[in-house]
Amino acid sequence: MAPRDPILGITEAYNADKNPKKANLGVGVYYDDNGKLPLLECVRKAEAQLMEKTGPRGYLPIDGLAAYDKAVQDLVFGADSAVIKEKRAITAQAIGGTGALKLGADFLKRFSPDAQVWISDPSWENHRALFESAGFKVNSYPYYDAASKGVNFAGMLDTLKTIPAGSVVLLHACCHNPTGADLTDDQWTQIIEVVTTRGLVPFLDMAYQGFGDGIESDGKVVRRFADAGGPVFISNSFSKSFSLYGERVGALSIVATSADEAARVLSQLKRVIRTNYSNPPIHGGQVVATVLATPELRALWEEELAAMRVRIREMRQAFVEKLKAKAPGHNFDFVIAQRGMFSYSGLTKPQVDRLREEYSIYAVDTGRICVAALNSGNIDYVVDAVAKVL
């Protein structure tokens, strides 16, 4: 038997728990204030439009729906981006963010078989396994500093300064999973400088665009890397930002150094896709393309995404303030500064165990909690329990 997936295992245990006050903070999913997975109104409206003109289901092109790929490019690079105008960026629809990462990994393995991959310590738990399964040796660079509850930037930069040219460096574009600790603009400047001058290959994973500070500002890092010349790999996902987890909508974009190189890259990427799953499914891509290309729906999406972002921020604030009252000896202010759905809370494994066993509150053993699973109905119960285990 293969070991159980650590995070999906938490949800299984949570589902079996009979305590009516139970809370699942182990998930990587945004829930609304009623604790429900939202169906965005922009998605519902786009689907209603699509149903009106529903048609036959031929195969999509290998790289997906053209309107989707174009919409993703504009979103990720900005519609007025030089790399788009110069035709240096290519984008292929992918099966979620995970699928995009795997396409990028398979592509890189084919053309850079001796390179090694570097991921942050810690990182999304699937990064290592995914690149290893593509045949890479996966190393990690220092990232989280438990003492300061922030980024060990000096450690990160020092490591990037020593790894061989051609190494693939996986970076979280925003809303670092699992820590919630992001780099500042100035720190990104230094990372871009080192990556570019040392000939490293940046692979930006952007699974949470819009959950940090906004669509534009979360995407800024991608644009800055693109402006620095390329090559750059970008995987993005609409699982969270459109609440379309099960439709598996994401994309892989690659910035090449010339239009000619970009055309060759796309042709080779299509071979990777063809031998993986041939071509992507239609529905999710159509929904996202419709929303992004229809001004009213796009405005609605931006509103709904902003509401999710604001709610998470409010939960961060409430968690910290309430905890200050219940556990005055402890400082959780860092939770407010963190970005995205997650927080490395600093809770230890024994504390996480007690939360589960005594209070039916489920978190990841590392202390990662999903702030987006907190709501006005469960936050007092969660804060009380956390204060008790502290």
Which amino acids are annotated catalytic? 124, 205, 240
Residue 63 binds to ligand PMP (criterion: CB under 6 A):
no
Q: Choose between 247 and 304: whose C-beta lies nearer to ligand PMP.
A: 247
Piece in contact with ligand PMP (CB under 6 A), picked from 96-104, 135-143, 160-168, 186-194: 96-104
Nearest C-alpha neighbor of 231 from the set 270, 196, 197: 196
* Minimum distance of ligand PMP from residue 96's CB (angstroms): 3
User: 12 is written with which tokens?
Assistant: 């299984």
- With beta carbons less than 8 A apart as the criterion, state whether 259 and 88 touch: yes
Residues 6+ apart with CB under 8 A from 260: none
User: 387 is written with which tokens?
Assistant: 């204060």
Q: Choose between 60 and 119: whose C-beta lies nearer to ligand PMP.
A: 119
* x/- track of binding to ligand PMP for residues 340-369 (CB under 6 A): ------------------------------
* Minimum distance of ligand PMP from residue 98's CB (angstroms): 3
| CA dist list (Å): 151 to 67, 141, 372 | 38, 11, 22
- With beta carbons less than 8 A apart as the criterion, state whether 284 and 64 touch: no
Q: Choose between 177 and 209: whose C-beta lies nearer to ligand PMP.
A: 177
User: 200 is written with which tokens?
Assistant: 């490293």
| Helix H or strand E segment including 197 | helix 185-197
Query: Which member of 93, 167, 209, 237 binds ligand PMP (CB under 6 A)?
Result: 237
Query: Which member of 97, 104, 280, 284 binds ligand PMP (CB under 6 A)?
Result: 97
Q: Choose between 88 and 368: whose C-beta lies nearer to ligand PMP.
A: 368
Query: Which member of 93, 152, 179, 239 binds ligand PMP (CB under 6 A)?
Result: 239
* Minimum distance of ligand PMP from residue 331's CB (angstroms): 27
368-370 and 342-344 beta bridge pairing: antiparallel
Cα distance between residue 304 and residue 369, in whole Å: 23
How many residues touch ligand PMP under the rule CB under 6 A: the total is: 12
In the three-class reduction of DSSP (H, G, I as helix; E, B as strand; rest coil), residue 322 is classed as helix
Query: Which member of 159, 177, 290, 351 binds ligand PMP (CB under 6 A)?
Result: 177
Q: Which residue has the tokens 């469960």?
A: 378
| CA dist list (Å): 305 to 98, 228, 243, 249, 357 | 21, 29, 9, 16, 34
Piece in contact with ligand PMP (CB under 6 A), picked from 95-103, 218-226, 349-357, 370-378: 95-103
In the three-class reduction of DSSP (H, G, I as helix; E, B as strand; rest coil), residue 255 is classed as strand
| CA dist list (Å): 266 to 112, 113, 253 | 16, 19, 10
- With beta carbons less than 8 A apart as the criterion, state whether 208 and 174 touch: yes
- With beta carbons less than 8 A apart as the criterion, state whether 160 and 191 touch: yes
* Minimum distance of ligand PMP from residue 353's CB (angstroms): 24
Q: Choose between 96 and 285: whose C-beta lies nearer to ligand PMP.
A: 96
Query: Which member of 200, 207, 215, 352 binds ligand PMP (CB under 6 A)?
Result: 207
Query: Which member of 28, 150, 210, 280 binds ligand PMP (CB under 6 A)?
Result: 28
Cα distance between residue 350 and residue 361, in whole Å: 13
Size of the chain, expressed as the number of residues it contains: 390
* Minimum distance of ligand PMP from residue 210's CB (angstroms): 14
Q: Which residue has the tokens 């000939």?
A: 199
- With beta carbons less than 8 A apart as the criterion, state whether 135 and 109 touch: yes
Residue 96 binds to ligand PMP (criterion: CB under 6 A):
yes
Query: Which member of 63, 205, 218, 247 binds ligand PMP (CB under 6 A)?
Result: 205
Residue 122 binds to ligand PMP (criterion: CB under 6 A):
no
Query: Which member of 24, 98, 241, 286 binds ligand PMP (CB under 6 A)?
Result: 98
Q: Choose between 104 and 250: whose C-beta lies nearer to ligand PMP.
A: 250
Radius of gyration in angstroms for the set of CA atoms belonging to the chain, rounded to a whole number: 21
The single-letter DSSP state of residue 318 is H
Residue 250 binds to ligand PMP (criterion: CB under 6 A):
yes
* Minimum distance of ligand PMP from residue 38's CB (angstroms): 16
Q: Choose between 8 and 299: whose C-beta lies nearer to ligand PMP.
A: 8
Q: Choose between 91 and 351: whose C-beta lies nearer to ligand PMP.
A: 91
Positions that interact with ligand PMP (CB under 6 A): 28, 96-98, 124, 172, 177, 205, 207, 237, 239, 250
